[in-house]
Amino acid sequence: MVKRSKRFRALEEISSEESISLDKAVTRLKKYGTTNFVQSVEIAIRLGIDPKQADQLVRGAVVLPHGIGKELRVLVFAKGDNAKAAEEAGADFVGQEDLAKKVKGGWLDFDTCIATPDMMGVVGPLGRVLGPRGLMPSPRAGTVTPDVSKVVKEYKAGKVEFRNDASGIVHAIVGRLSFDDAQLNENIQAFIDLILSKRPQTAKGTYVKSVALSATMSPGIFVAI
């Protein structure tokens, strides 16, 4: 018989398969904060879309009302005045061909990659390295932009990128368990509202099939919307 830890048994008693209101879900989630580190709070929204259809992809980025409680490491491909603007906005790494060579060699010590349009000739060949990790700059995600200062500041403030996976599920970090209930509620609701606003016109039937919240080391909690 598998021996389960005291913490695991305690979480089982709190856990439930029923869908509950967002307020109650956040309250229950807080009870899982029994680790010796601050856990991230994640959301998973299962959508009624066909992920194989390009016109049904759900993706984008959002600056949540209270950020995500983590400062992102931002890399920017830019030159001249744009490079200076990126540095002044707080970018952690700014460069051109030298930085591209470093990334191509396997260096990926950053969370977000931004590029100005005139640098895509340098960034384009990095698609095989950055693409699979979700780091490739994209106009659609707002990470290919002439206004690098604005975008760098957004990501340093905790801007969250999202894209449905092959199962039609959107995952994102929406805060930390150290946030108070009101902050988590506002962040989560803002993210849900954004996903609802992005329903593809060609999607049929129920759009949002389920919403679940979890912490880094916790069971999932289903949220009724």
pLDDT, tens digit, 9 for 90 and up, residues 127-141: 999 998 889 999 988
Task: Check residue 137 and give its pLDDT.
Answer: 94
Among the residues of the chain, which ranges form H helices?
Answer: 6-14, 22-30, 80-89, 97-104, 120-123, 127-130, 148-156, 181-197
Residue 109 sits at φ, ψ, to 5 deg, of: -85, 55
pLDDT tier, 3 (very low <50, low <70, confident <90, very high otherwise): low
CA pair distance 165, 64, nearest whole angstrom: 21
- Give how many domains the chain has, as a whole number: 2
CA pair distance 14, 69, nearest whole angstrom: 25
Domain boundary residue among 112, 139, 156? Answer: 156
* Same domain (yes/no): 143, 164: no
Q: Which residue has the tokens 């506002």?
A: 186
The answer to whether residue 43 is domain-embedded is yes
The answer to whether residue 89 is domain-embedded is yes
pLDDT digits (tens, 9 = 90+) for 127-185: 999 998 889 999 988 899 999 999 999 999 888 889 999 999 999 999 999 999 999 99
Segments forming the whole domain that contains residue 57: 17-68+160-222
pLDDT tier, 186 (very low <50, low <70, confident <90, very high otherwise): very high
Task: Check residue 33 and give its pLDDT.
Answer: 86
Which residues have C-beta within 8 Å of that of residue 103, sequence separation ≥ 6?
75, 126, 129, 130
pLDDT tier, 11 (very low <50, low <70, confident <90, very high otherwise): low
**Is there a contact between 92 and 110 (Cβ–Cβ < 8 Å)?**
yes
**In terms of DSSP bridges, do strands 59-63 and 93-95 run parallel, antiparallel, or are they unpaired?**
unpaired
The answer to whether residue 26 is domain-embedded is yes
